[in-house]
Structure 1
Amino acid sequence: MRDYRDAVAVVALGACTPIGLTAQVTHAERAAGTTGFVCTEVRDDRRGRIRASRLPLLKEDRTRTQRMVALGVTALEECLAEVKQWGVQRLPLILGLPEQMHGAPWEQEELKEALEQQMAAVRLEWEPGEWREGRAGLFPALARARELLRRQRSPWVLVGGVDCLSDRASLRRLVESGRCLTEERRAGVLPGEGAGFVLLANAETVRQQRLVVKGWIVAESSAREERHFRQGEPNQSDGLTAVFHQLRYHPLVRGQRVDRVLSCQTGESYWAKEFALAYLRNAELFPEPLMIEDVAQGLGEVGAAAGALQVGYGLYVLRKLGGRRALVYGSSDGGCVGACVLAVQP
């Protein structure tokens, strides 16, 4: 890495998914090919049972809010298990949340109160702003976190995402909108749920605290796609193209291909076409041959949790399977697009 001081360190991870209550278990199970898909009680128009990825410890009748609370609290507890011994008293938090019009209604205040109660010993300071960008929400959150660290407003920033689309009400909405994978709709979504957190620190904090670093956020970028999923014009992938172009010419990335690519997307053909256009315009950034690790392969559509879960898994893959750098990218239904480059060594 050209300038160690410009990177942001990942010093702790937390995850809760249908295949693991911790990041370590989730990563190992994903690498082994384990999935969390089950046949649910919700049926499509032809009376076929909808498949979804669900945490088996949660009862089927739990609401979206209840499931998000359980997932979020569990992932947060893991991520901040060692924070007390580091002397952390206050912690800025940027939490990626579900997009509007995607899934059933849920109670944001109930989620916030539950997370605050879980970390009573550390004051969570919610970063102002609307962070409801779904699958792509992590990337503007990383940019804000980097800004907070650079301005020395805090030596630590917590970034994460929580979502659930496999609760009963959300499944019914997805069926009604024709979005779910069914016998008739082979290109649909397999709903899922999950939570992920990433604790970030600047290089000076890492040095002073002598922290063990799990990896580095080398660079991130985000943009708006005007011709997004929810409008009628063909998507020309201008937003994702701009994101990849910015990363490709970033001072810490320029001239170097990434070794791994991880997607926050659902597996629908729409997103594959969007990526293909942006990839062809920025092929020098990507590995040859190109292989993409979709979060949906094992966890389904996890919405706002996708970014944090993929960052953790990307660092795991780099350490276990080799490679210096990985790229994580995502696009929301409403037009937010983004990506980041990870590294295991400065």
Structure 2
Amino acid sequence: MTAAATAAAVRAGIAGFGEHPFVVDTAGNSMIVAAAPYIGIDIRGAARLAELAAPAAVEAVTSSSARSIGHLPVSLFVGLPPVRPGRENDVPATVVARLREELASLCHVEKIGVIDSGHAAGTMAIERAWQAVRSGASEFALAGGVDSYLEPETLEWLERNDQVHSAGPENNAHGFIPGEAAGFVLLTTTAAARRYQLSAALELMSVAVARETNLIKTDTVCTGEGMLAMFRALAGEPPAVKVDHLYCDMNGEPYRADEFGFASIRAADLFREPDAFTAPADCWGDVGAASGPLLLMLAEAATSKRYAAGPVLAAFTSSESGERCGFLAHHRTEARAR
């Protein structure tokens, strides 16, 4: 349930996959999912997303010795799943209301932004928070994402689109394990972190958004143009730094693997080792809009626990609607000196 436990589980390669209690596929087999074990399966819809989001947001605000910011305004940016079968219209209002309630005693939530574009939404929330902090519009910004594929209508929709990983007679080795998760990160400037004596090991160098026009579930061929544009926007051309390790939301689908293959070959000068990447969907399943903040959490954990491959870490996320968003981060000087 916590960031530290999640990072440790991914590092150890532990997967918590299991059978859905009552949803079966067209072959009559139980759907294999990655469910949050601390939330009852009877909690459904927008209420489930709110139940996932609340503890993650609270942990982000309290885990950096941030109790001293209780009287300060904090901007909130939330990434959500897109409109799809099984996603109710009241999701944005329900999730935001629950976050306001849970955070009321910890900080003063001022501005709110919602991005409901799926996989890249959480990273896009980080991008908006990063811009708000850099511009001085907000001293603190809380950015995150929450998603769940466990609604029966959503699982049936995924299966109709041949996206669910399965075995047996209906074998689909190239699908993904539907998951659910929430992740939040608290952003501020280096100066504010020092002023309020907040602990931080990672500093965002850049966050970039681009768009792919050759989308999954279409007859077009994706050669990674959108992802390449995102990589170039992150690091420049030629790149000012080399990435030591990459975190991504690849989930086993050929489209995503091919896209990254094309883009990484053309941006090879950005990576110290092109195959040095972590795709944690093999541990926590596909977590959709929660991906970006959780990838940033993994990068921060690797830095603070001193097992990161090097000082420069990056991540990317890809929405089915075309948004490509990623970040570039490095160890803070103070963290390296400790």
Q: TM-score, normalised by structure 2?
A: 0.89
Q: How does 1:16-55 map to 2 (within 5 A)?
A: 21-40=1-20, 41-55=22-36
Match for 2:192 among 205, 209, 227? 205
Q: How does 1:141-152 map to 2 (within 5 A)?
A: 141-152=125-136
CA distance in structure 2 between the aligned counterparts of 1:316 and 1:102, rounded to whole angstroms: 35
* Alignment partner of 1:86 is 2:69: yes
* Alignment partner of 1:284 is 2:272: no
Contact 1:315 1:343 in 2 (8 A): no
Q: How does 1:206-221 map to 2 (within 5 A)?
A: 206-221=193-208
CA distance in structure 2 between the aligned counterparts of 1:54 and 1:123, rounded to whole angstroms: 31
* Alignment partner of 1:140 is 2:120: no
The Cα shift of 1:243 comes to 0.9
Aligned to 1:216, what secondary structure does the other structure show?
A: strand
Q: Give the aligned CA root-mean-square deviation in angstroms.
A: 2.0
CA distance in structure 1 between the aligned counterparts of 2:199 and 2:236, rounded to whole angstroms: 29
Contact 1:64 1:165 in 2 (8 A): no
CA distance in structure 1 between the aligned counterparts of 2:331 and 2:220, rounded to whole angstroms: 40
Aligned to 2:250, what secondary structure does the other structure show?
A: coil
The Cα shift of 1:169 comes to 3.4
CA distance in structure 2 between the aligned counterparts of 1:50 and 1:330, rounded to whole angstroms: 25
Question: Deviations along 1:111-156, whole A, 9 cap, x unmatched?
Answer: 111111111233323434x511211123433332232123322211
Q: Please tell me the residue identity of whatever aligns with 1:76.
A: A
CA distance in structure 1 between the aligned counterparts of 2:219 and 2:321, rounded to whole angstroms: 12
Contact 1:53 1:299 in 2 (8 A): yes
Residue 9 of structure 1 corresponds to which residue in structure 2?
Answer: none
Contact 1:52 1:191 in 2 (8 A): yes
Residue 233 of structure 1 corresponds to which residue in structure 2?
Answer: 220
Contact 1:260 1:292 in 2 (8 A): yes
Higher relative contact order (CA 8 A, sep 6+): 1
Identity of aligned residues (%): 26
The Cα shift of 1:102 comes to 6.3
Contact 2:10 2:280 in 1 (8 A): no
Contact 2:126 2:293 in 1 (8 A): no
Q: How does 1:91-130 map to 2 (within 5 A)?
A: 91-101=74-84, 103-105=86-88, 107-108=90-91, 109-121=93-105, 122-128=107-113
Please say which of residues 80-89 and 192-201 is displaced more in the overlay: 80-89
Residue 181 of structure 2 corresponds to which residue in structure 1?
Answer: 194
The Cα shift of 1:224 comes to 0.9
Q: Please tell me the residue identity of whatever aligns with 1:62.
A: I
CA distance in structure 1 between the aligned counterparts of 2:195 and 2:66, rounded to whole angstroms: 15
Q: Please tell me the residue identity of whatever aligns with 2:306.
A: K
Gapped regions of structure 2 (runs ≥ 5): 334-338
Q: How does 1:293-312 map to 2 (within 5 A)?
A: 293-312=278-297
The Cα shift of 1:103 comes to 4.9
Gapped regions of structure 1 (runs ≥ 5): 1-20
* Alignment partner of 1:154 is 2:154: no
Residue 247 of structure 2 corresponds to which residue in structure 1?
Answer: 262
Q: Please tell me the residue identity of whatever aligns with 1:85.
A: S
Q: Please tell me the residue identity of whatever aligns with 1:44.
A: D
The Cα shift of 1:87 comes to 4.3
Aligned residues: 323
Q: Please tell me the residue identity of whatever aligns with 1:333.
A: E
Contact 1:61 1:167 in 2 (8 A): no
CA distance in structure 2 between the aligned counterparts of 1:302 and 1:88, rounded to whole angstroms: 33
Q: TM-score, normalised by structure 1?
A: 0.87
Structure 1 residues 286 and 278: alpha-carbon distance in aligned structure 2, compared to 1, 3 A threshold: same
